Amino acid sequence: MRRLRDFISFFDFPIPICISLFIALVSVIELGCFESCGLCGEAEETNQEAGDFLAKELEIKLKLEEASWTPSWVKAQRKTEIPSTEVLPTEVLSKEAQISQVLIPYRPDGGGKGAFYDHSTLQRLTQHPTAFDPTEEEFQEFVEFAYGADLRIPSREYLHPEQHGLLVIPGRVREAEADVQQTAREQEWIRKARRRGQPILALCAGCWQLWEAYGGKCKEVRDHCYGGGMLRLGADGRTTYNVQIHGVRINRDSLLEGTITGGRGARQGDLVLMVNSVHWKAADAEDAPASLSVSASAVRLGDIHIHTRQGHPMKPELATVEAFESRWGAPVFGIQWHPEGYNVDDDDKHKEKDSKFFRPLEQIQILCYLVQAGDAYCLKRRMLRDLNRLVERVN
């Protein structure tokens, strides 16, 4: 938790200190010490093809502006008192804090349906705008699918690269598991993010891409894929089909633990949550990359109703990897379940609301803390860009 706070709070200095830091960094740059930092090398990255699409996209966005919606939080009452040290999305992520875009590689599942789910849930829960990288055909497909919906059309990733914050690698349907083009697209974004020091959140099948990008291997797991269907959006914009399948035990002193608890310090017993589950593979802990550590594993919970798959009772395999994180550097999280599948009012509406292991706001906090890390990354990129410009003027 301290590593995440340090990453975020580094940019909260008073103006005089920032000026002094600015001058010091200029001196360092003049000595050539930033040549080994990938942030500088890519801070000014742009796509030369942007001009071909810019006029058309601006025209489309103007037409959609009246139908677009700025997502807002629904105030939710907690069952327990919230310590003053805890950071909640309603208190922190106001419109003024929307300084970065959540970058989500486009996934073509269902003719834009998968991408619509990704951007709708992330916009609604984090109060941040999003960006993506569709082809021209995929962009038109997405616009047609999303027209009239409560969604702000994401920005094309090449238009404002300096505004990118958190990188989210989404899941995918089973039919798209072997999609070579999609895999190449996600692996390229992961490669760039690692070079830049960009925070990463990989969800469900996205975990496999992240784990393998670091050199790990994945394996099949038993009864972790709910047979009743994937999570989806209802007519009111809330996530539905959020069926809880098994529990996860969060490792003590992990960054994930601090993220979920808000850094509240010592607690009694292990932190256990019930989670949804629609995956059929998981990271293989026996082949863990040196720079990643397992932060959560699957456990059985008596509170959860036993579901069936193809007519047989589900008995989820235990002790499988459910989450992992980076050991150092920018926060990098792989979450095997779907924290974006929870709603802020699930404490009152979800059928599991009476279980002490059902904690939707803690799930959503995973997203919001990482988005804050994305804000810090974005500020760092902007500062380095301005430093480069200042050095060019001095020289």
8 A C-beta contact, residue 349 and residue 214? no
Instruction: List Cα–Cα distances, 152 to 123, 242, 365, in angstroms.
Output: 8, 24, 22
150 token code pair: 């409560």
pLDDT value at residue 51: 44
Tens of pLDDT along 165-193? 999 999 998 888 889 999 999 999 999 99
Label residue 3 by pLDDT band (50, 70, 90). Answer: low
* Mean of all residue pLDDT scores within the chain: 79
Tell me the residue type at 19: I
Tell me, yes or no, whether 46 lies in a domain. Answer: no
Which residue would you say has higher pLDDT here, 113 or 77?
113
Please provide the DSSP assignment of 229-267 as one string. ---EE-TTS-EE---EEEEEEEPTT-HHHHHHHTS----
pLDDT beyond 80 at 98: no
Tell me, yes or no, whether 54 lies in a domain. Answer: no
8 A C-beta contact, residue 262 and residue 86? yes
Tokens 């001058």, located at residue:
23
Q: State the CATH number of the domain containing residue 338.
A: 3.40.50.880
Residue 111, domain extent: 2-41+90-394
Radius of gyration of the chain from Cα atoms?
A: 21
Label residue 265 by pLDDT band (50, 70, 90). Answer: low
pLDDT beyond 60 at 390: yes
Helix, strand, coil fractions of the chain, as percent rounded to 5: 40, 15, 40
Tell me the residue type at 203: L
In angstroms, the CA 79 to CA 347 distance is: 8
pLDDT value at residue 22: 52
pLDDT value at residue 175: 85
pLDDT value at residue 264: 64
Q: Which of 15-24, 106-115, 207-216 has the highest mean pLDDT?
A: 207-216
Tell me, yes or no, whether 98 lies in a domain. Answer: yes
φ, ψ of residue 334 to 5 degrees: the values are: -115, 120
Q: Which of 15-24, 106-115, 248-257 has the lowest mean pLDDT?
A: 15-24
Reduced 3-state DSSP string for 34-75:
CCCCHHHHHCCCCCCCHHHHHHHHHHHHHHHCCCCCCCCCCC
Q: Which of 20-34, 191-205, 250-264, 270-284 has the lowest mean pLDDT?
A: 20-34
In angstroms, the CA 57 to CA 326 distance is: 37
DSSP state of 81: P
268 token code pair: 């009694």
Which residue would you say has higher pLDDT here, 292 or 33?
292
Q: Where are the extended beta strands (E) located within 96-163?
A: 101-103, 130-132, 155-156
8 A C-beta contact, residue 123 and residue 130? yes
pLDDT value at residue 230: 81
Tens of pLDDT along 328-345? 999 999 999 999 999 999
pLDDT value at residue 106: 97
Closest by alpha carbon to 103, among 38, 199, 10?
A: 199
In angstroms, the CA 205 to CA 283 distance is: 10
pLDDT value at residue 82: 30
Tell me, yes or no, whether 372 lies in a domain. Answer: yes
**pTM for the full model?**
0.77
pLDDT value at residue 376: 95
Tell me, yes or no, whether 47 lies in a domain. Answer: no
Give the CB-side neighbour count of residue 134, counting CA atoms within 13 A.
25
| Coil vs helix vs strand at 134 | coil
197 token code pair: 């020091």
pLDDT beyond 70 at 142: yes
pLDDT beyond 90 at 75: no
Tens of pLDDT along 292-304? 999 999 999 988 8
pLDDT value at residue 349: 86
pLDDT beyond 60 at 305: yes
pLDDT value at residue 90: 34
Domain count, the chain: 1
pLDDT value at residue 262: 80
Tell me, yes or no, whether 197 lies in a domain. Answer: yes
Q: What CA dihedral angle connects 72, 77, 80 and 82, to 10 degrees?
A: 40
Tell me, yes or no, whether 313 lies in a domain. Answer: yes
Tokens 């810090």, located at residue:
376
> Number of helices (H) and strands (E), helices first, in the chain?
12, 16
Average pLDDT of the segment spanning 122-131: 95
pLDDT beyond 90 at 306: no
pLDDT beyond 90 at 198: yes
pLDDT beyond 70 at 377: yes
Tell me, yes or no, whether 277 lies in a domain. Answer: yes
Question: How would you classify the pairing of strands 155-156 and 130-132?
Answer: parallel
